[in-house]
Amino acid sequence: MLAGGRSGEHEVSLASGAAVRDGLARAGHEPLDVELARTGAWSHDGEPLLLEPGGGLLGAEVVFPVLHGPFGEDGTVQGLLEILDVPYVGAGVLASALSMDKVLFKQVMAHAGVPQVEFRAVRDGEGDAAVAGLSALGLPVFVKPARLGSSVGISKVTAAAELPAALEAAFAHDPLVIVEAMAVGREIECSVMGNGDPVASEPGEIVLEGDWYDYEAKYTPGGMELRVPAPLEPAVRERVRTLAVEVFREVGCAGLARVDFFVTDEGAVLVNELNTMPGFTETSVFAKLFGASGLEYPKLLDALVGLALERPPT
**At what angle are helices 297-310 and 285-292 packed, to 10 degrees?**
100
DSSP 116: B
Please say if 219 is a catalytic residue: yes
CA distances from 4 to 34, 69, 71, 252 (A): 9, 10, 10, 25
pLDDT-flagged residues of the chain (< 50):
217, 219
16, 96, 99, 150: the active-site residue? 150
DSSP 133: G
Q: How far apart are CA 250 and CA 115, in angstroms?
A: 13
Cα–Cα nearest to 304, from 164, 219, 199: 199
Please say if 273 is a catalytic residue: yes
13, 16, 272, 275: the active-site residue? 275
Secondary structure of residue 12 in the 3-state scheme: helix
7, 258, 291, 297: the active-site residue? 258
The CATH number of domain 2-89 is 3.30.70.250 = no
13, 273, 291, 311: the active-site residue? 273
State the pTM of this model: 0.92
Contact, 32 vs 63, CB < 8 A? no
Cα–Cα nearest to 305, from 94, 90, 96, 57: 90
Name the residue ranges covered by the structural domains of the chain: 2-89, 97-115+184-310, 119-181
Please say if 279 is a catalytic residue: yes
The CATH number of domain 119-181 is 3.30.1490.20 = yes
Q: What are the beta bridge partners of residue 185? A: 264
- The CATH architecture annotation of domain 97-115+184-310 reads 2-Layer Sandwich (3.30)
pLDDT tens per residue, range 140-176: 999 999 998 656 789 999 999 999 999 999 999 999 9
219, 249, 252, 282: the active-site residue? 219
Cα–Cα nearest to 151, from 117, 116, 118, 180: 180
What's the confidence (pLDDT) of residue 201? Answer: 97
What's the confidence (pLDDT) of residue 313? Answer: 58
Please say if 260 is a catalytic residue: yes
What's the confidence (pLDDT) of residue 215? Answer: 52
Q: How far apart are CA 306 and CA 88, in angstroms?
A: 10
Contact, 10 vs 276, CB < 8 A? no
Please say if 88 is a catalytic residue: no
3-state helix, strand, coil in the chain (%, to 5): 35, 25, 40
Contact, 313 vs 79, CB < 8 A? no
Amino acid at 3: A
CB-neighbour burial class of residue 293 (10 A; exposed 0-12, middle 13-18, buried 19+): middle
Q: How far apart are CA 285 and CA 279, in angstroms?
A: 7
Q: What are the beta bridge partners of residue 297? A: none
What's the confidence (pLDDT) of residue 153? Answer: 84
Please say if 123 is a catalytic residue: no
74, 101, 205, 260: the active-site residue? 260
CA Rg, the chain, in Å? 19
List of residues 6+ apart from 257 with CB closer than 8 A = 91, 99, 191, 192, 248, 251, 274, 275, 276, 278
What's the confidence (pLDDT) of residue 110? Answer: 97
